[in-house]
């Protein structure tokens, strides 16, 4: 069992800084997800932890031992690759057993362990097949088998679900969570899919341009994004952003956009003022926090498109020059081209500084 | 629809079918022509080797001989050809083994070590320069060096020369194969605890086998057929089959019978080798064309 610590880790490829001053503590048995758009440095971070890349600066500790100087094979980690990276010339049994064979584990023990792992993953029938004869989901399980058979301190998973079709991906997502709950290992998981990050993790690390943008529990980073990038990255459909300014009037503080304005309480007003004196702001509101056609709705809008998702609708509104997305339950009486008033749930409103992207709340 | 419409459609279909058939016929004619161009010299070699001496020099030439003899082969086998065949085998097999071994190791390390691309390219091009010279340019230096070391007319001298000449070729070909192998497999082996040697022998080598087979065949054919260096670096003891074939041309006459018979003997091993390795050859030549 392992605790992992990154201290000021930096990695450069030529002049490009892939990972910049990365600091993170991963607790024992924690499921941590590194998430971000492609090129944000998440895979590089994982590779450095695995020992496949050397950091330019900084130290990585696994169980208080400096891992930088250890050979990847000696770090007691297991990795599942995006392409699975199964050995094409070996059958499933040998693929899973390979790591143990390299370690010179006794034959009877290898046999026992491989069969155990195969049983956990439900691939006992496939042990004699070559990777080419397996489906994507089966290959995925073999790759996992290769990882768990070694009983490592840390599991590293690099976008393990991205090559599966949508249905299988959601099923495997739940299976993965169950599997790692049972194995009680420390897991570092890399993905660009915010849904995977939200559903699987104990802790989410959101990265962009090689920098950590925010670390926290999934609910925490979703409800209280620290900046506009995190706010926009998490959630599907993503948060609506509308340019606005702060306006002081005799009766209080208002937030004013091109098409509408609303009053905010003093506490929030002072938070915004602390953030940005000039008053150039962006308001953010999640699609599920938009009210449609209720008596207290005041913003004029026109429905552009309604997408039927089966269990819900995604509705695109035109508000002046802005497009606003909302989600709503099915069977609401909406139609394309309808003029309707919408409103924001002000408790769930987010305000960002337009220049820096930092959130006031 | 009217009956005339049906007639029109039938007319169009008939024209379409005719064009299709015509296209096929032309394609077959072209194919047969190309095959004749490729096959005929070989056919001429084989038939000449089993013709009577008088039929060989007949005018007009006899394309389809009606009587056959093995006397050319008997002549050849009575002239110590065994020694030359053995020389050819020893030189070719040793060359293939050494060139593929060193060439593969060199290109594996080039494909895996993360030296700058400029250094790597400089190295690869430097190696290739050996092949860019026409071989005849380097025959005299080789001759001088080999005689200085007292290796003239030995199999070792030929092996050294051929290995040096083959390694660039092996390296370039194998580099392509090694680079085609997904690096994630190699990384998986690294995480599984393999050192560099284990990764090479247990993962890369088995996966690169088709590439190695192709490379070995080409290296073997090169060494087996090579004439220029062999003629300069040998006189009696280490003479190989191509040099023997050339020796049937003297200032008095050309002994076409024994010459073609030796030619056929020269071709047989290479032909067998290629047929046996055909599975790998086809796979190897198309390796990397599509993701598999």
Predicted confidence (pLDDT) per residue in B99-142, tens digit: 999 999 888 888 877 677 788 888 888 888 877 888 888 888 88
* Widest CA span in chain A: 83
User: How deeply is A221 buried, as exposed, middle or buried, from its count of CB atoms within 10 A (0-12, 13-18, 19+)?
Assistant: buried
Q: How many helices (H) and strands (E) does chain B have?
A: 15, 0
Asked if B191 and A82 come within 8 Å (Cβ–Cβ), the reply is no
Cβ–Cβ < 8 Å for A197, A191: yes
Asked if A82 and B194 come within 8 Å (Cβ–Cβ), the reply is no
Asked if B188 and A79 come within 8 Å (Cβ–Cβ), the reply is yes
pLDDT of residue B156: 92
Are B86 and B226 in a shared domain? yes
pLDDT tens digits for range A61-78: 888 888 888 888 888 888
Are B89 and B77 in a shared domain? yes
* Widest CA span in chain B: 95
Residue ranges making up the domain that contains B183: 73-285
pLDDT of residue B292: 36
Are B53 and B89 in a shared domain? no
A97 phi and psi angles, rounded to 5 deg? -80, -15
Last residue of a domain, one of B34, B52, B71: B71
Which CATH architecture is the domain A4-225 placed in? 3-Layer(aba) Sandwich (3.40)
pLDDT tens digits for range B153-163: 899 999 999 99
Asked if B189 and A82 come within 8 Å (Cβ–Cβ), the reply is no
The pLDDT-based confidence of A333 (bands split at 50, 70, 90) is confident
> How much of chain A is helix, strand and coil, in % rounded to 5?
30, 35, 35
Cβ–Cβ < 8 Å for A90, A98: yes
Are B91 and B12 in a shared domain? no
Are B50 and B163 in a shared domain? no
The partner residue sitting opposite A73, judged by closest CB among B182, B184, B193, is B193
- CB contacts of B195 in chain A (<8 Å) are 71, 73
Our count of domains for chain B comes to 2
Are B9 and B39 in a shared domain? yes
**3-state DSSP call for residue A241?**
strand
Question: What is the Cα A273 distance to its own chain's centre?
Answer: 31
Distance from CA of A40 to the nearest CA of B (A): 20
A 10 A CB-CB count for A204 gives 26
B260 phi and psi angles, rounded to 5 deg? -70, -35
pLDDT of residue B289: 42
Asked if B191 and A89 come within 8 Å (Cβ–Cβ), the reply is no
Are B62 and B90 in a shared domain? no
Q: Which of A123-132, A255-264, A316-325, B111-120 has the lowest mean pLDDT?
A: B111-120
pLDDT tens digits for range A301-326: 888 898 888 888 899 998 888 888 99
| Cis bond upstream, residue A237 (ω within 30) | yes
Q: Please state the rounded mean pLDDT for residues B8-12.
A: 87
**Averaged pLDDT of chain B:** 86
ipTM here: 0.79
The pLDDT-based confidence of B288 (bands split at 50, 70, 90) is very low
Are B10 and B115 in a shared domain? no
> Is B290 within a domain?
no
Asked if B182 and A83 come within 8 Å (Cβ–Cβ), the reply is yes
Q: What is the CATH number of the domain that holds B208?
A: 1.10.3720.10
Q: How far apart are CA A256 and CA A243, in angstroms?
A: 9
Q: Please state the rounded mean pLDDT for residues A104-131.
A: 87
pLDDT of residue B101: 92
pLDDT tens digits for range A144-183: 889 888 888 899 999 888 888 888 888 888 888 888 888 8
> Is B292 within a domain?
no
The partner residue sitting opposite B192, judged by closest CB among A52, A89, A99, is A99
Cβ–Cβ < 8 Å for A60, A9: yes
> Is B162 within a domain?
yes
pLDDT of residue A276: 67
Which residue out of A89, A90, A154, A160 would a mutagenesis test of the B interface target, given it has the greatest number of B Cβ atoms within 10 Å?
A: A89
Q: Tell whether the model's pLDDT for residue A135 goes beyond 60.
A: yes
Are B23 and B81 in a shared domain? no
Distance from CA of A51 to the nearest CA of B (A): 8
Closest residue of B to A148, CA-based?
Answer: B192
The pLDDT-based confidence of A348 (bands split at 50, 70, 90) is confident
Last residue of a domain, one of B53, B71, B89: B71
Last residue of a domain, one of B71, B88, B105: B71
Asked if B190 and A72 come within 8 Å (Cβ–Cβ), the reply is yes
> Is B159 within a domain?
yes
pLDDT of residue A189: 92
Q: Tell whether the model's pLDDT for residue B291 goes beyond 50.
A: no
A 10 A CB-CB count for B179 gives 13
**3-state DSSP call for residue A306?**
strand
Give CATH 2.40.50.140 domain extents, chain A.
240-353
Give CATH 3.40.50.300 domain extents, chain A.
4-225
pTM of the full structure: 0.76
Q: Please state the rounded mean pLDDT for residues A279-299.
A: 85
pLDDT of residue B157: 92
pLDDT tens digits for range B229-250: 999 988 888 888 899 888 888 8
Asked if B191 and A50 come within 8 Å (Cβ–Cβ), the reply is yes
Are B130 and B251 in a shared domain? yes
pLDDT of residue A208: 92
pLDDT of residue B45: 92
The pLDDT-based confidence of A291 (bands split at 50, 70, 90) is confident
User: How deeply is A101 buried, as exposed, middle or buried, from its count of CB atoms within 10 A (0-12, 13-18, 19+)?
Assistant: middle
Contacts with A, B 189-228, CB within 8 Å: 189-195, 198, 202-203, 206-207
Q: Which of A27-31, A154-158, A202-206, B286-290 has the lowest mean pLDDT?
A: B286-290
Fold for the domain defined by A240-353: OB fold (Dihydrolipoamide Acetyltransferase, E2P) (2.40.50)
- Number of CB pairs < 8 Å for A and B? 59
Are B99 and B174 in a shared domain? yes
Are B62 and B78 in a shared domain? no
| Cis bond upstream, residue B60 (ω within 30) | yes
Which position has the higher pLDDT, A330 or A115?
A115
pLDDT of residue A33: 92
Asked if A73 and B187 come within 8 Å (Cβ–Cβ), the reply is no
């Amino acid at each position: 069992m392992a605790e992992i610590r990154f201290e000021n880790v930096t990695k450069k490829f030529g002049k490009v800084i892939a990972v910049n001053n990365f600091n993170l503590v991963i607790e024992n048995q924690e499921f941590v997800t590194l998430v971000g758009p492609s090129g944000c440095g998440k895979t590089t971070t994982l590779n450095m932890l695995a020992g496949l890349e050397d950091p330019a600066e900084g130290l990585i500790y696994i169980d208080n031992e400096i891992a930088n100087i250890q050979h990847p094979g000696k770090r007691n980690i297991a990795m599942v690759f995006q392409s699975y990276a199964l050995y094409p010339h070996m059958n499933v049994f040998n693929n899973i057993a390979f790591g143990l064979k390299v370690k010179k584990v006794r034959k009877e023990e290898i046999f026992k362990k491989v069969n155990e792992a195969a049983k956990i993953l439900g691939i006992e029938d496939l042990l004699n097949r070559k990777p080419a004869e397996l489906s994507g989901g089966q290959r995925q399980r073999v790759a996992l088998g290769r990882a768990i058979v070694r009983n490592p301190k840390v599991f590293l998973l690099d976008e393990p679900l991205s090559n599966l079709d949508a249905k299988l991906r959601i099923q495997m997502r739940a299976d993965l969570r169950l599997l790692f709950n049972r194995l009680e290992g420390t897991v570092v998981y890399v993905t660009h899919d915010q849904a995977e990050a939200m559903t699987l993790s104990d802790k989410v690390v959101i990265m962009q341009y090689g920098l950590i943008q925010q670390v926290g529990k999934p609910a925490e980073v979703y409800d209280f994004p620290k900046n506009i990038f995190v706010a926009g990255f998490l959630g599907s459909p993503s948060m609506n952003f509308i340019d606005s300014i702060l306006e002081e009037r005799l009766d209080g503080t208002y937030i004013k956009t091109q098409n509408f304005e609303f009053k905010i309480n003093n506490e929030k007003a002072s938070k915004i003022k602390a953030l940005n004196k000039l008053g150039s702001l962006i308001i953010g509101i999640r699609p599920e926090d938009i009210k449609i056609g209720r008596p207290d709705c005041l913003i004029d809008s026109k429905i552009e498109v309604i997408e039927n998702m089966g269990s819900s609708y995604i509705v695109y509104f035109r508000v002046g020059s802005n497009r606003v997305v909302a989600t709503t339950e099915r069977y609401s009486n909406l139609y394309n081209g309808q003029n309707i008033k919408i409103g924001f749930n002000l408790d769930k409103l987010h305000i960002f500084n337009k220049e820096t992207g930092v959130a006031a709340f | 629809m009217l009956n005339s419409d049906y007639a029109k459609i039938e007319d169009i279909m008939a024209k379409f079918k005719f064009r299709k058939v015509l296209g096929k016929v032309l394609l077959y004619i072209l194919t047969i022509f190309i095959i004749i161009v490729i096959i005929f010299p070989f056919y001429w070699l084989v038939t000449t080797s089993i013709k009577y001496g008088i039929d060989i020099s007949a005018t007009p030439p006899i394309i389809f001989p009606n009587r056959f003899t093995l006397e050319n082969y008997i002549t050849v086998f009575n002239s110590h050809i065994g020694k030359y065949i053995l020389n050819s085998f020893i030189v070719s097999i040793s060359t293939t083994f050494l060139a593929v071994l060193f060439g593969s190791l060199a290109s594996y390390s080039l494909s895996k070590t993360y030296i700058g691309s400029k250094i790597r390219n400089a190295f690869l091009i430097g190696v290739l320069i050996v092949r860019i010279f026409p071989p005849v340019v380097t025959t005299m230096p080789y001759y001088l060096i080999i005689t200085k070391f007292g290796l003239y007319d030995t199999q070792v001298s030929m092996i050294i020369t051929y290995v040096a000449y083959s390694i660039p070729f092996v390296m370039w070909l194998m580099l392509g194969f090694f680079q085609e192998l997904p690096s994630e497999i190699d990384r998986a082996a690294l995480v599984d605890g393999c050192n560099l040697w284990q990764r090479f022998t247990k993962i890369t080598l088995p996966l690169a086998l088709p590439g190695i087979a192709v490379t070995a065949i080409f290296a073997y054919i090169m060494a087996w057929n090579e004439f220029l260096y062999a003629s300069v670096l040998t006189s009696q003891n280490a003479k190989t089959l191509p040099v023997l074939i050339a020796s049937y041309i003297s200032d008095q006459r050309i002994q076409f019978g024994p010459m073609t018979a030796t030619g056929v003997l020269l071709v047989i091993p290479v032909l067998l080798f290629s047929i046996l390795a055909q599975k790998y050859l086809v796979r190897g030549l198309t390796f990397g064309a599509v993701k598999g």
